[in-house]
Amino acid sequence: MSKISEVVQRARAAFNSGRTRPLQFRIQQLEALRRMIKERERDIADALAADLHRNEWNSYNEELIYCLEEIEYTLKKLPEWVLDEPVEKTARTQQDECYIHSEPMGVVLIIGTWNYPFDLTIQPMVGAIAAGNAVILKPSELSENMASLLATIIPQYLDKDLYPVINGGVPETTEVLKERFDYILYTGSTGVGKIVMTAAAKHLTPVTLELGGKSPCYVDKDCDLDVACRRIAWGKYMNSGQTCVAPDYILCDPSIQNQVVEKLKKAVKEFYGEDAKKSRDYGRIISSRHFQRVMGLIEGQKVAYGGTGDAATRYIAPTILTDVDPQTPVMQEEIFGPIMPIVCVRSLEEAIQFINQREKPLALYVFSQNDKVIKKMIAETSSGGVTANDVIIHLSVHSLPFGGVGNSGMGCYHGKYSFMTFSHRRSCLVRSLQKEDPFKGRYPPSLAKMTRH
């Protein structure tokens, strides 16, 4: 038996022992996870700095705070979530007890990603622990410092058998996916998402796939361009553009394109100074391969700002492209880097048509002071989520599910949706053995009853 098989079997044996079932145990583990984040905040920040050139303030505000808030919210609500949920009864079940009982799925696999390697691994784990599962974590090997740290610190705070960490690259992930799990949550690319789903299908294992895509950002002529461009620039260039819900490209009327460029430039200089390379707040591309890929997307484009890079440090300047042809490579794949293409459209209807001709994105953004424009964009397009007059921020609301649709993924989590994702909602009907008379009509023989019908 391989080492990975042993880890999975140990987690299953621990789950089968029943120790995750009591509410108090789940609360203890979540409190331990919270303590880990607070006590090891500096170590986490150091790993993020080494992997992504992220400073301590950004580490806390872009990753740790979301995990801490998720834990606090879950601890507050969990005693309510675990209760059986009464349901409406039919005429024939008025005397029965009908309810939904939430039970843990079993052994859950969470495959993390490298762009927010702490939050996007730990935040789904919060819901899986809350629902009473054993959880096996597989962090991304690209964020190697974080992967190593998680493998070191998680066993120091959480139950070692129930919550193991498996590290390694493609061979190890392939090996892990041969095992049978009761649920898999994967965050990453659409291509690998298909591989995960194929592996899961062999065991009929349900999946949540948090993928990506090209999240459009429509800027209406009727909006405050200074505020809109500052908010767009914040979401685009955060983490050097390596955010799954970053605005991928801008759609706007040609008459405001130059204003959008100037106001984006102004915001970038306000955030990162004249030379973003010297800014403590500006990130780096995760690997040399991704650096080359992103730089390749700039080739042949009309660069209005930026466009430079340094392979040695994997730095790519905040970049703006204008009059972008939708057929060029930068508009064919998710950019996942600090490049903002601007595509000109002459109407809201044309923008909607442009969006609908492409795969459904993980997020969609619309900036307008006209509520009818916002409502029309929401009504006539499809995406995982929407934020109007800002970007990314819908992710921070516990009561909103976070997830994709179509090519951008399936399933969702955050808040109660995490608890529901990692629970089997079991239909239960409890009937008394007394009072048999009302049910006699259902028993054979039926011939004598036909005339009554």
Q: Residue 310 — φ and ψ, nearest 5°?
A: -130, 105
Which residues, 6 or more positions from 114, have their beta carbon under 8 angstroms from its beta carbon?
Answer: 51, 140, 142, 143, 146, 286
Catalytic residues: 210, 244
Here the tokens at position 24 are 């108090």
Give the separation between CA 45 and CA 246, rounded to whole angstroms.
22
Here the tokens at position 337 are 């880097």
The strand pairing partners of 358, in sequence order, are none
